[in-house]
Chain A
């Protein structure tokens, strides 16, 4: 029985500072410009309100990973804790998985031409430590939790947030705290000279 590890992302804390993104890249020894995690800005303009938040995304370690299904070399494995790991020794660099992942998680490492992707720093998880991304967040916006803990949490957790594409076929192992936007008082238009708005 898999007790899936999942990323819990809190957009109400994320500052968009991208520390997680850089901490991951630097501590994995990736060359500049290559990232296994990305922080992106979502900004939606409503009639009375702007919905604005940052979201940190990496491999979602899906319950039904397409990468796993399509890799002809059997380079992907799903661990007992649900983490999807990748064996570079088996990789031929064919790129099938890059096309199959709806989230763009696997990428080619320009250093060796082989695929690389987030493995949730599973060695650290086994040692009861946090992945580099989680450990680096200055405000605790990113966590790893067990899927079975989700039900007991007081937080309002979502599978997707406003503005995100609806991609559920692979059952991504990620939950988001519901975005909370405060009240916004936008500046009243100042009449220009001559009284024209």
Chain B
């Protein structure tokens, strides 16, 4: 009989599926969904069914390795002792030579969502002031939009969609990214709710909607303004909400009056009559909810556009009511302070060096290419749970940046594009090999990863790696790290979870193994209409403009970007079989779909004599990438569409995406987000 353990998928995904793991003789024999998971009902995704294979994948790196010459693929297996001693020596040398640790850089993200992951940053805090890559390539501009409008980024519980009479899915494709939430969408639809999708691409989600609007990419703010103008003109407003709970309405109203609906419509590509219809639908259904994806905010004015979309629930009083509001992300869980971030190196604050440092040096995400141009330049880069060579824009520059950094440490499962530039590869554990906790940012479900098997090979968790590194550092230079190396993972988890125990209704995290537990946050946000903005009211986007010191900017799509040389706008979409660059090496998933496929409108296919299956090259000023053509009327003629994480000949899609900030992200994260969907390309057919 197998022993059954409780686990949770730790990928950066809203579902955070609880798993039941079967183990026999120390080997995983089956991984399946936990039927008691109230969000997933025990149903996983295609990727989830390959988790077991990934643990035993022949491609997984299971010993510490040292590369003799960056990018040479000449690797030597070394012992942990050697790896950690050599790395520690470099860190100590940097401190001795430089007097501080700014030349040490941490680039960490959510390759795994385990709570113990935070220990890596905690460790670096414990050795001194370093350079940190901060910000998020993901949702940050949209999150800021909510923060500025409401004062905080909150969302309703997933099942609150069942209370909606209208669900507008805008700039997202949950048929790929949120399978389980689609269960609620279909159930709401069966109960009579209307499903509307706004997207430049006729996605799998759009195909299941009652009403689909194909919008010009990046003109979401124009459409929102158009809807708002019609709501105003046709008096479909909740005047009581506007008068009592908002700030800036009179000014915003006069702005709306000045706008020309025809002008807005022509930018969006959606006729005035259809915008009017959408406005009447939104104004005529209450409660109505908006489900915003990440896609719409990855444009130059994406943050402002999301602020303008968030005007709509305010105009109609769809805030703070069941079935209303906006489903985006919740930052509530992230607001709980971490015990790891409290760690700091006291001596850093009393530095005798003339270059006295008061804080960490912070660099925006995507900034790897500039690490060597900083003063002092980066000498050691530690990458954990990230793959910047694939996921950061302008990948060639990122790789060039890697070549120039003297020492790179990558902690990962597989030989990623980034790891190919590592000097030290430190093999990490899967969720089945070390204890941890995962909290969903979508449904707040909180689950424990029990250690089901011993780590394969010599793999160690990120936590265990930095804990041992701290010990090595202190052995070589007593007191170098203030990381409490004697503290076990279990004790850390208990400490880290203390603040959440009351909201989970438990006394110890091990109780999470007993069944589905969810952090008890309000299922409907803003019911008290007490907003967390400076004014305590919902704030119209005018305030944003004042804060930023710029005049009201209500022509959001008039940002230059189109190109005569590169006539096609490259938009990336999610694959069901990739999670960013993760899962890309699963043979089973690869057999389901060629990820390096490019969607082209048939009209363009005719012009360029390209048919489905043809080899084509996509190129622009940054580089060239090979794809397989797939002709589909689901994409507009001026747009070509590829998968996030697509790889071709060792290079990723982001080779063709310039590094360009969008307009928000810095309010919460300190740096702005990315305009992933502002890349222009041309293409040609490859003749054999």
Interface residues in chain A, defined as those with a beta carbon under 8 Å from any beta carbon in chain B: 12-13, 15-19, 21-23, 25-27, 32-33, 35, 43, 45, 50, 52-54, 135-140, 181-188, 190
Contacts and interface: CB of A to CB of B under 8 A. Distances in A.
B685 to A, nearest CB: 21
14 contacts: A15-B175, A15-B576, A16-B204, A19-B44, A22-B50, A26-B49, A26-B53, A26-B588, A53-B207, A135-B42, A136-B43, A138-B180, A139-B179, A181-B207
A54 B266 CA distance: 33
B182 A15 contact: yes
A190 B200 CA distance: 14
A185 B213 contact: yes
B276 to A, nearest CB: 12
Contact of A190 (B52, B216, B576): B216
A135 B206 CA distance: 25
B211 A182 contact: yes
B271 A138 contact: no
Given A22-B49, A138-B40, A139-B179, A15 B633 contact: no
A10 to B, nearest CB: 9
B182 A139 contact: yes
Interface of B: 33, 40, 42-46, 48-50, 52-53, 175-176, 179-180, 182-183, 186, 195, 200, 202, 204-216, 266, 269-271, 274, 576-577, 586-593, 602, 632-634, 636
Nearest to B267: A190
Contacts of A43: 632-634
Interface-central residue, A35, A52, A138, A184, by most chain B CB under 10 Å: A138
Nearest to B43: A138
A52 B634 contact: yes
Given A182-B212, A187-B200, A187-B216, 13 more contacts: A15-B576, A16-B204, A17-B179, A19-B44, A45-B602, A136-B33, A138-B44, A139-B179, A184-B211, A185-B274, A186-B214, A190-B266, A190-B269
A182 B209 contact: yes
A21 B46 contact: yes
Closest 5 CB pairs of A and B: A187-B269, A33-B591, A32-B587, A32-B588, A15-B175
A19 B43 contact: yes
A187 B639 CA distance: 12
Contacts of B40: 138
Contacts of A53: 207
Contact of A185 (B176, B211, B590): B211
A187 B270 contact: yes
Contacts, number: 132
A29 B211 CA distance: 41
A48 B310 CA distance: 31
Contact of A19 (B45, B216, B593): B45
Nearest to A41: B204
Nearest to B35: A135
Given A22-B592, A25-B588, A33-B591, A185 B270 contact: yes
Contacts of A21: 46, 592
A187 B49 contact: no
Nearest to B215: A187
Contacts of B204: 15-16, 52, 54
A12 B33 CA distance: 24
Given A12-B208, A26-B49, A18 B592 contact: yes
A188 B270 contact: yes
Contact of B183 (A12, A18, A139, A185): A139
Contact of B214 (A32, A138, A185): A185
Contacts of A22: 46, 49-50, 588-589, 592
B176 A50 contact: no
Contact of A184 (B202, B589, B590): B202
Contacts of A13: 186, 208
Nearest to B51: A26
Interface-central residue, A18, A21, A33, A187, by most chain B CB under 10 Å: A187
B577 to A, nearest CB: 7
A190 B49 CA distance: 44
B187 to A, nearest CB: 9
Nearest to B639: A187
B214 A187 contact: yes
B633 A50 contact: yes
B530 to A, nearest CB: 36
Contact of A17 (B175, B269, B590, B634): B175
Contacts of B50: 22, 26
Contacts of A50: 202, 207, 633-634
B179 A138 contact: yes
Nearest to B182: A139
B211 to A, nearest CB: 5
A190 B195 CA distance: 27
A138 B45 contact: yes
Contacts of B43: 19, 135-138
A151 B275 CA distance: 42
A190 B269 CA distance: 7
A153 to B, nearest CB: 14
A25 B586 CA distance: 14
A52 B599 CA distance: 15
Nearest to B17: A138
Contact of A45 (B271, B576, B590, B633): B633
Given A17-B45, A139-B183, A182-B211, A188 B269 contact: yes
Contacts of B52: 26
B282 to A, nearest CB: 14
A52 B271 CA distance: 24
Contacts of B180: 138
Given A52-B202, A190-B266, A18 B591 contact: no
Contacts of B207: 50, 52-53, 181
Nearest to A43: B632
Contacts of A32: 586-588, 590-591
Contacts of B45: 17, 19, 138
Contacts of A140: 183, 186
A183 B183 contact: no
Contacts of B183: 138-140
B175 to A, nearest CB: 4
Contacts of A186: 202, 214, 636
Nearest to B602: A45
